[in-house]
Amino acid sequence: MDQYEEFKNEIYKMTQIDLSSYKEKQMRRRIESLVTKNGCKSFADYSVLVKKDPKVFDEFINFMTINVSEFYRNPEQWDLLVKDFIPELIDRFGKKLKIWSAACSTGDEPYSLVMALSNHIPLNDIKIYATDLDKQVIATAKVGLYSEKSIAGVPDEFKKKYFTKVGSSYQISDEIKRRVEFHEHNLLKDTYPKDYHMIVCRNVLIYFTEEAKHDVYEKFCGALSNHGLLFIGSTEQVMEYREIGYKRRTSFFYEKDV
């Protein structure tokens, strides 16, 4: 067996991190830099060092937590979602809600959605469709390993229930991961899915031109069921929302109303 394959197996046994979820060429090259940095001559030597030296173990885990944003970003908006809007959506559409987390990055947002929904719906009935343009961040999202800072906003009950400490980082449980289906999607050029009860796209469109934002918000409106909700970020707003077909419910929640 190739030494790197054996290394992947050993790391999985130690951490439940499946390095096969990452692009092999890039990840192998990155780990080789750690092998060299720690004065090891091979993946096998480095694997032994990771097992016996807590500092090297932590360094490796931290090395894996790349491109991470935050769970429950802007918690007051998540409170509003949990207390008001999810019950409203359930009343309107039933418990089999279709929810799209667009530009989901490293998974913080769709996994936050699963936990938020679990206050009202059994986990087995939750399914989030999550998309991002970047294959690498999707791979990171599937691994589900996060820094302490990233999960700071997660309610304590969920931290205890759904996260396991691995070194100085935290691994989200398979129970939560199973509820999210990840796909590649380019908001600016790909076809949008249809008939969603809620779309969540936060703190992404701030990087787009006004024309591109308008186009995306229009396409989101087309992707929503009538009276479905769009949940956006705290630094964003939908300009000309009435013309597009939205009713503004709060600064960050818009209802399709056409």
**Could you tell me if 49 and 38 are in contact, meaning their C-beta atoms sit under 8 angstroms apart?**
yes
pLDDT along the chain (258 residues), means of 10: 86 79 78 93 94 88 64 91 97 97 93 96 96 84 91 95 93 96 91 97 82 93 98 90 96 93
| Confidence (pLDDT) at 67 | 47
| Confidence (pLDDT) at 21 | 65
Fold of 75-256: Rossmann fold (3.40.50)
| Confidence (pLDDT) at 102 | 96
Element of type H or E holding 246: strand 246-248
For 213-223, what is each residue's pLDDT tens digit?
999 999 999 99
| Confidence (pLDDT) at 68 | 47
For 49-64, what is each residue's pLDDT tens digit?
999 998 898 788 767 6
- Rounded CA-CA distance 71/84 in Å is 19
Element of type H or E holding 50: helix 43-52
Output DSSP code: residue 99: E
Instruction: Please name the amino acid found at residue 247.
Output: K
Question: What are 189-192's contacts with CB under 8 Å, separation 24+?
Answer: 192/219, 192/220, 192/222, 192/223
The residues spanned by each domain of the chain are: 3-64, 75-256
pTM beyond 0.85, yes or no: no
The three-class DSSP label of residue 186 is coil
Q: Measured between alpha carbons, how far is residue 123 from residues 34, 129, 162, 178, 229 in Å?
A: 38, 15, 12, 9, 21
Q: How many CA atoms lie within 13 A of 98 on its CB side?
A: 12
Instruction: Please name the amino acid found at residue 143.
Output: V
